[in-house]
Amino acid sequence: METIVTRFPPSPTGYLHVGGARTALFNWLYARKNNGKFVLRIEDTDTVRSTQASVDAIFDAMNWLELDWDEGPYFQSQRFDLYGEYLQKLLDSGDAYYCTCTQEEVEAMRQKATAEGGKPKYNGRCRERGLSRSDNAVIRFKSPLFGTTVVEDVIKGNIVFQNTEQDDFVICRSDGTPTYNFVVVVDDITMGINTVIRGDDHVMNTPKQILLYKALKSPLPVFGHVPMVLGKDKSRLSKRHGAMSVTAYRDMGYLPDAFINYLARLGWSHGDQEFFTRQELVEKFNLKNIGKSAGVFDLDKLTALNADHIRATSVRQLAPRVLPFFREKGYDAADDDYLAGVIGTLHTRSKTLVEMADGAHFYYRDDVRPYDEKAARKFLKPEMAWVLALLAVQLDALDDLAEKTQEGAFKKVMDEMGLGFGKIAQPVRVALTGTTVSPGIFEVIEVLGKARVLARLKAAVEFIESAGA
């Protein structure tokens, strides 16, 4: 059986966006599912718009998504000698020719064709003139004048193009730079690409590329054109919908496995299953279950799925991913047992790593004062000073702060003061965290440790006494 070889060929003229990342993912999954090869190719023949910063951004995004490649990265800008060889092959076989028509002349031809009810295209003036190379000459492909070209698309089905609607398109400009459709075919032939999964904005390029394959006597790859990704309002995805750099989602606190899970579900399905691990995606991905309608990008659904992945990820695996967000907040955090304890109290309540970092603030502050004003006014009342002081005595007497032993300390205070747990818990929460919202109070106490807990209870007592003085 022939080895499946897919590719992802981004142009380094900007960041890697959601649509491009999904294309990369589908090619990567199909290669991994079939024990094939995934090739990365940088299409940088547009020397004016291509930048090294964009190249670096693409690599950064691919590495964050953990979409590793087996060959490459290849750079088209380093393959011009190879393109020259294939141009010469087409010239020698009579499938291409030199053309000296000016842009103004070609535009006039197109306007005339349109006025006569035809397609706006070059009229083939230089097709049989046998011109030689010159400074102002382009090279055009000699398209067939009759018949049809059929794109056998594994996603959309067969798409038929009339050859009479194709013109003799340019494959090399007068400055010697080859054009997109030509170099793509040469690259795919020489790299052994036999499966092309790409966005359906490329459908109109495909008949031209098929004609080039046939002229170069090369077998056609399998083509599959994936519907576009749209915004929630069903319009083309833009920045207002979330069409930003893939790495922006990393910086917003999304996990790579959650992001690729969501990308995969933008146009592909496996029954009603929504949550997939990376390994499940590799095992279950196929081309037949890619839908024919556009995927709709919904940030709320991505966020909900991210929360599911955070909950499903072990504390130890989350630690290195969340640590940069903690440090960005200024926390003196390290990948240690304390961090693991902090994450353990927050990962079931956090939708993003940023949210987790926000929720961890009280764990890394020496002093949680000033307290939330409303919380302090409601819960740190004069009668609570003795309650908090008594709890400090009970907790100080414990050998450890495991939940079961804490319960005994709280019960003694409740019995002595004649109060229910609810009357004690919120004042303690405010004393320890500065607010009324936190993980479970027993969890918080266990993670903070005895020294921090006693210091914060003492500080709360002092606050109450000073407020009442």
Q: How far apart are the C-alpha atoms of 469 and 460, rounded to whole Å?
A: 14
Under DSSP, is residue 37 helix (H, G, I), strand (E, B) or coil? strand
What pLDDT score was predicted for residue 468?
Answer: 64
Q: How far apart are the C-alpha atoms of 152 and 76, rounded to whole Å?
A: 27
Report which secondary-structure segment, H or E, holds 197. strand 195-199
Summary count for the chain: helices (H), strands (E)? 19, 12
What pLDDT score was predicted for residue 45?
Answer: 87
Q: How far apart are the C-alpha atoms of 41 and 48, rounded to whole Å?
A: 18
Report pLDDT digits (tens) over 232-288: 777 777 655 555 789 999 999 999 999 999 999 999 999 999 999 999 999 999 999
Round the average pLDDT of the chain to a whole number and report it. 95
214 is catalytic: no
Structure tokens at 317: 């695996």
What pLDDT score was predicted for residue 133?
Answer: 95
* Residue 274, φ and ψ in degrees, nearest 5: -110, -40
Structure tokens at 16: 């890697």
Report which secondary-structure segment, H or E, holds 107. helix 103-115
* Separation of CA 278 from chain center: 14
Complete DSSP assignment for 310-355: HHHS-HHHHHHHHHHHHHHTT----SSHHHHHHHHHHTTT-SSHHH
* Residue 46, φ and ψ in degrees, nearest 5: -80, 85
CA atoms 396, 397, 399, 404: torsion sign: negative
Complete DSSP assignment for 203-254: GGGHHHHHHHHHHTT-PPPEEEEEPPEE-TTSSBP-GGGT-S-HHHHHHTT-
What pLDDT score was predicted for residue 423?
Answer: 94
- Sequential pLDDT tens for the chain (469 residues): 799 999 999 999 989 999 999 999 999 999 999 999 999 999 998 888 999 999 999 999 999 999 999 999 999 999 999 999 999 999 999 999 999 999 999 999 999 999 998 889 999 999 999 999 999 999 999 999 999 999 999 999 999 999 999 999 999 999 999 999 999 999 999 999 999 999 999 999 999 999 999 999 999 999 999 999 888 777 777 655 555 789 999 999 999 999 999 999 999 999 999 999 999 999 999 999 999 989 899 999 999 999 999 999 999 999 999 999 999 999 999 999 999 999 999 999 999 999 999 999 999 999 999 999 999 999 999 999 999 999 999 999 999 999 899 999 999 999 999 999 999 999 999 999 999 999 999 999 999 999 999 999 999 999 999 986 4
DSSP E strand boundaries for 117-187: 138-141, 148-153, 157-162, 170-172
What pLDDT score was predicted for residue 467?
Answer: 80
What pLDDT score was predicted for residue 239?
Answer: 56
> Active site residue: 217, 234, 239, 288, which one?
239
- DSSP 8-state secondary structure symbol assigned to residue 147: S
CA distances from 367 to 3, 364, 370, 376, 423 (A): 61, 9, 8, 15, 23
What pLDDT score was predicted for residue 243?
Answer: 57
Q: How far apart are the C-alpha atoms of 282 and 95, rounded to whole Å?
A: 42
Helix, strand, coil content of the chain in percent (nearest 5): 50, 10, 35
How many CB atoms neighbour CB 372 within 10 A?
16
Which region holds residue 328: left if phi is over 0, alpha if psi is between -120 and 50, else beta? alpha
Residue type, position 63, single letter: N
What pLDDT score was predicted for residue 85?
Answer: 98
